[in-house]
Each structure stands twice: as C-alpha cells, then as structure tokens.
Amino acid sequence: MALCCRPGGRWGGRAPLGRPALRRRPPAGRVAEGAEAGSPARPYAVAGGDEAASAEELLEVCRRRHFLRGGAEPRPALPWRAYLSGCHPGFGPLGVALRGNLAAQWWDSALAFREQVFAVDAPLHGPPAAGDRRAGQGLRLLHSETLREALRDRGCGREPGGPSLEEVLGTAGTLRESLLPGALAQYVSCLELVNKRLPCGLAQTGVCFHSIPESEQHNKNLGRIGERTTSLLAWFSSPRTAGQWLDYWLRQRLQWWRKFAVGPSDFSSSDFQDEEGRRGFNLHYSFPWGTETIETLKNLGDTELLQMYPGDSSKLLGRDGRKNVIPHVLSVSGNLDRGALAYLFDSLQLAENPLTKKKNSQRKVLKLHPCLAPLKVALDVGKGPTTELRQVCQGLFNELSENRISVWPGYLETVQVSLEQLYAKYDEMSVLFTVLITDATLENGVVQLRSRDTTMKEMMHISRLKDFLTKYVTSAKNV
C-alpha cells in the first residue's frame, strides 16, 4: 500500500523524609498565560549545557530501558524532535505501558460525567466524505500499483476511459488526521441516548496521522507522514454556556496534567484565536529546548456540526432548559505520545551513584507517578535454594498479576549482578518497589521491600504485599 499526501498536584506521599539528595533538571522557560501559541522551540544551545546534557542522558536511558525505540544499530540514533513529531519506529514495551497508563487515567477523567459522556470509536480510514470542504486534500490511502499506473498514464497519454491521477486520488480512502469527524458523525445517536438534553459529550482515543512539516523533512521532494496517539473529548453545550464550559475544561485539564507531575509548574497554558475568531487554549509542557503543545481546547461553534449534517438541522437540536438549540462543540484534543514524553522528562532525577565516586556519574531515577509507572514491583531472588525461591516468586507473580499489579519477573534473569546494580537498573525502569525473596522467606514468609522513591528497605510478610501495593497505588490516584 502507498500513502499519498495532498497539499492543503503533586502527590504528597512521593517525597517522604529520609530520601537521598536529588537534583532535578533546571526549569525550562515558561509560556506566559495569554502568550501566543506555537512559538518556535529554542535549540539546545540556547537551553543551556546542563539542560541539553540532561535531555541526552534521558534519551539514552529511555532507549536502554526500552521506553523508546530507534537507537539500535545499524540505524542512526534519532533526536527528540523525531519522537515529538511522531516520525519514529515507535515506543518500546515500557513506553507502551506508560502511554497505556496515561490513557487509562484520561478515560477515568473523561468519564467523570458518566451520565453525559459516552465512549465511541471510528475507523482509521474511510471513503472520502461527500461534500467535505477538504475533499481532494489530506492523506490518502491507495494501492501502490494503482498510483503507479495513474502516473504512467499521465506521462504517456491516458487511454480513453482510464482514470486520471486526480480521479484516482479523489476516490482513494482518507486516513484520519483527527478524531473529531468520527465523533461528530455519532452526535445524533448520542443525543438520543440523553433524551436530547444538553450538555453531553463523546470521548475517544486512537491513532491519527499527519504530514511532517517541511522544516523537519530530510528530503524536500518527498513528504513524510507521522502518527500520534490522541485523545478527544467532544463536548456539546448550548451556545449560552459554551464559554463557561471552555473555561471549566481548561481548569480541569491543566489540573489533571499537573496532578501526575513532579514539577507541576512545567505545565502551563496559553490562549489563542483561530483565523475565524474562535477562542481556544493550548496546554504546554516546558521541555529543555522550549515549550511543546500537549493538548488543545477550542470552541468550534456549530460550524462543524452543520457541515457534518447538511440539509435538515432539526435533528441537531438539543434541549437547553425549555429551548431547543443547535449546540456549540467544544473540542478537547490531547497528544498522548507527547504527554508520555513530557512525564519522562518530568520524572528524571539525578542522585549520587553508590557504585562509583566519579563526579559526573550520577544515578538516574525516573520517578514516574505511581499511577503512570509501567511496573509497580520487581521480583528478584537473593541467597538461598534457587529452585524453591523461584517457585515462591512465580506464585507471587501470579497473585499480583491477577490483581492487576504490573510485575517485572527479575527472578528469571540468568546474569548475576550486585544488588546495587539491580536497584540502579530498576530505578531507570521506574519500578516502584523491588521485592527480594531469600531463604528467610522460606523460613518465616518475610520478604525485603525496597522503595524507589526513598531507597529505604523494610521487611514485610509476603501475605501483606498485595494489599500494601494496591493501597499504595490507590492512595496516589485519589490525591
């Protein structure tokens, strides 16, 4: 197949007393409230040596611990810009788990109004929409042989009755560049579910495609396509209250992003107006090189709805008290890929490395929020009979997994390393707790529990472990 492009609150329990001295990366520049959106990103050189070094250190950690792909030979290592633009080989297993946890938290937030918000889905591609003002533009999906024949006929003189290139592209399926059209197509059925009562909403997550800007193209004569995992809340409200709802969702979304952050102030907002004068907000994260947009909120008015349902507009009417009105559409669209990258930067902390006394060799810790951490616990074996200890680990692995606690089976590792090396590895993987099963576990059921955030170790009976981990993550989520 060929793709063608046509022009057109920090959680209070995360930092108890007794933790080692940690150094966070210096804060990047902020986007002031009301500043213009889409300001050019500052290069590394402007950001400063420490920030650039931290960014490169994090990129190396993310590749080594399989949060990101793209650094293996023989392919050259990719820069951060490639991951931000969506033009990369994809996330690694831990990165996929991080993004999945972020999406799960987004669903919990979007469905807070469970009586008014419904989950929907739509295909990644479909036939060209009749009457679409963007017909003939955008990303198209067609067989490579079909495109080759159309180009050959165009160059050699088309046979009578053969399709032209424009006809081929005009009938080709379109790749979705936004979740909004698919959600709007289900508005009428959503309105029936709520008995035509406003406000109501539709929520969706999924992959969207986009053209890479010319400034980031390696080959100026060949366009490239990127992809991103996005979230969308389409909120339908009466025109009378649309402005109030936009302000509400701005506060709610900014608070949500900051909830999982070590440095909440790195998440900020700026307002804008599009060419049609419609009001909106961008939510940003301050990366070391500058700010990047991670979510956009916009009051679209009723234009998109009327274009989606031309002709009889009576079926669009919803009830606002005693009045029947065509609602305004509020679009809350987030980039979950960029959100995951933002939290990786937010979580990076540097501490003294107990394995070496070199000045520039610090221990790297990814302190992801407990709700976002890909792995909650790692199971490893200490001194004792290997076969029996692994049997205990296997039973504990099954028990925790059945209770939806993500576990890393470190006991299957065959390469022997010191405990400090093991802890350093799990800190880079953002594992919340390391459980060490030893011969003492076989004697009295006691395991050693080591915390990522405090590095402190304590003894706990194995029967208490499941309840402890469940309560720990639940308490972090509810703060």
From CA 55, how far away is CA 52, in angstroms rounded?
Answer: 5
Both structure tokens of 423: 């802890």
Q: What are the angstrom distances between the C-alpha of 288 and each of 124, 207, 263, 341, 369?
A: 33, 27, 13, 12, 20
Model pLDDT, residue 354? 65
Q: Are 306 and 326 in contact (CB under 8 A)?
A: yes
Model pLDDT, residue 90? 85
- Using alpha carbons, select from 71, 80, 87 the residue that is nearest to residue 43: 80
Model pLDDT, residue 398? 97
Both structure tokens of 250: 């701005």
Instruction: Using the predicted structure, report yes or no on whether residue 84 has a pLDDT greater than 60.
Output: yes
Q: Is the whole-model pTM more than 0.85?
A: no
Between 86 and 33, name the one with better pLDDT: 86
Residue with tokens 């889905």: 121
Q: Are 120 and 204 in contact (CB under 8 A)?
A: yes
- pLDDT band at residue 228, thresholds of 50, 70 and 90? very high
Share of the chain above pLDDT 70, in %: 73
Q: Are 71 and 61 in contact (CB under 8 A)?
A: no
For the segment 287-295, the average pLDDT, to the nearest whole number, is: 94
Q: How do residues 351-380 score in pLDDT, each as one tens digit?
A: 777 656 565 567 899 999 999 999 999 999
Instruction: Using the predicted structure, report yes or no on whether residue 68 has a pLDDT greater than 70.
Output: yes
Q: Are 216 and 247 in contact (CB under 8 A)?
A: no
| Tally of CB atoms within 10 A around 395 | 11
DSSP H or E stretch at residue 267? strand 267-273
Instruction: Using the predicted structure, report yes or no on whether residue 43 has a pLDDT greater than 50.
Output: no
From CA 368, how far away is CA 343, in angstroms rounded?
Answer: 7
Q: Are 367 and 263 in contact (CB under 8 A)?
A: no
Strand bridging mode 407-409 / 377-381: parallel
For the segment 338-360, the average pLDDT, to the nearest whole number, is: 81
Provide the 8-state DSSP code for 222: S
The secondary structure of 386-432 as a DSSP string is HHHHHHHHHHHHHHHHHTT--EEEGGG--S---HHHHHHHHHHTT-S
For the segment 158-167, the average pLDDT, to the nearest whole number, is: 58
The amino acid occupying position 211 is: S
- Using alpha carbons, select from 369, 414, 424 the residue that is nearest to residue 390: 414
The secondary structure of 294-342 as a DSSP string is EEEEEEEETHHHHHHS-S--GGG-EEETTEEEPPEEEEEEEEHHHHHHH
For the purposes of burial, counting CB atoms within 10 Å of the CB of 94, is it exposed (0-12), middle (13-18) or buried (19 or more)? buried
Task: Give 164's contacts (C-beta < 8 A, 6+ positions apart).
Answer: 150, 153, 154, 158
From CA 209, how far away is CA 227, in angstroms rounded?
Answer: 4
Return the percent helix, strand and coil in the chain, to nearest 5.
Answer: 35, 25, 35
